[in-house]
């Protein structure tokens, strides 16, 4: 099954657009896990067990595992294996923002898709199509390309003006017109910029968007749904990381966010024509 089909099937089955980010910073783990032989794995298993019923996707931020060296990589692989074994219908995203010259990108793609077995990966478009081609060639995997991100400094580059439009708009146009030949592209569109998200939606049609910025970054769910739902009432992977995994009760936090998203989805005024 292609990654997009897998995600859409899970959205319908779980009635959820929620993605839970496993940003399992070893320095922030609750004390109950710190003494474990594999603290990141133990923590991730607990989060998966508590929240999976409310999730359509899980996103692993590679930085927090790579920072823990070889043992972090081991715990990442074991966490992903546990997720696949217990929740095989949930989309798995590698948040790595990769891109490099062709043979290096090919090695990154093999690492992420073949060795680890992720369904999707985040990619940086700055090096151009040839750097992303090894990922794009995996027709069954999803390539989630940075377009409009949520960090405060994103405007320094992404808002640079071309003669008639900002750079992020050109990225969206290039992806939908030229890079999506295999129908496996998605875009990152920040919840903190709903006006830009609405413009991205108008450019890319029904393409699915990964949406950071909900939860700890405080973006408005209602604005996100108004800006980003596609014609099928899907098209969004709404991520929350710290706001769920480091909550006092992750299960309740995930359920509450999933329900808040669904309340907005059910609002007739949000339905696209």
Q: Please list the active-site residues.
A: 97
- Per DSSP, the three-state class of 54 is helix
How many other CB atoms are found less than 10 A from the CB of residue 256? 15
**166: DSSP letter:** B
Backbone angles phi, psi at 13, to 5 degrees: -70, -40
- Kindly state the DSSP code that residue 177 receives in the 8-state scheme: I
As a whole number of angstroms, the distance between CA 183 and CA 101 comes to 23
Contact 230, 202 (CB under 8 A): no
Cα(163)–Cα(87) distance, integer angstroms: 48
* DSSP secondary structure string for all residues of 106-165: HHHHIIIIIIS--SEEEE-GGG-HHHHHHHHT-TTSEEEEEEE--SGGGHHHHT-B-SSS
CA distance 168 to 148: 6
Token pair for 183: 């129908």
């Amino acid at each position: 099954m292609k990654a997009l089909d897998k995600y859409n099937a899970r959205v319908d089955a779980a009635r959820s657009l929620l993605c839970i980010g496993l940003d399992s910073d070893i320095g922030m783990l609750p004390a109950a896990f710190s003494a474990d032989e594999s603290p990141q794995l133990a923590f991730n298993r607990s989060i998966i067990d508590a929240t999976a019923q409310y999730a359509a996707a899980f996103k692993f931020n590679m930085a927090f595992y790579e920072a823990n060296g070889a043992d972090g990589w081991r715990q990442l692989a074991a966490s992903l294996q546990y997720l696949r074994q217990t929740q095989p219908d949930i989309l798995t995203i590698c948040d790595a923002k990769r891109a490099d010259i062709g043979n290096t990108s090919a090695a990154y793609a093999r690492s992420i898709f073949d060795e680890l077995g992720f369904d999707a990966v985040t990619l940086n478009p700055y090096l151009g199509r040839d750097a992303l081609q090894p990922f794009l060639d995996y027709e069954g995997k999803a390539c989630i390309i940075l377009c409009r991100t949520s960090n405060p400094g994103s405007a320094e580059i992404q808002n640079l003006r071309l003669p008639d439009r900002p750079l992020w708009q050109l990225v969206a146009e290039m992806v939908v017109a030229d890079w999506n030949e295999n129908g496996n592209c998605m875009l990152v569109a920040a919840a903190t910029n709903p006006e830009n998200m609405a413009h991205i939606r108008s450019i890319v049609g029904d393409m699915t968007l990964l949406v950071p910025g909900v939860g700890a970054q405080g973006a408005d769910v209602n604005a996100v749904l108004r800006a980003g739902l596609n014609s099928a009432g899907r098209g969004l992977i709404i991520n929350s990381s710290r706001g769920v995994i480091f909550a006092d009760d992750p299960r309740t936090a995930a359920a509450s966010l999933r329900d808040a998203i669904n309340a907005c989805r059910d609002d007739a005024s949000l339905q696209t024509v």
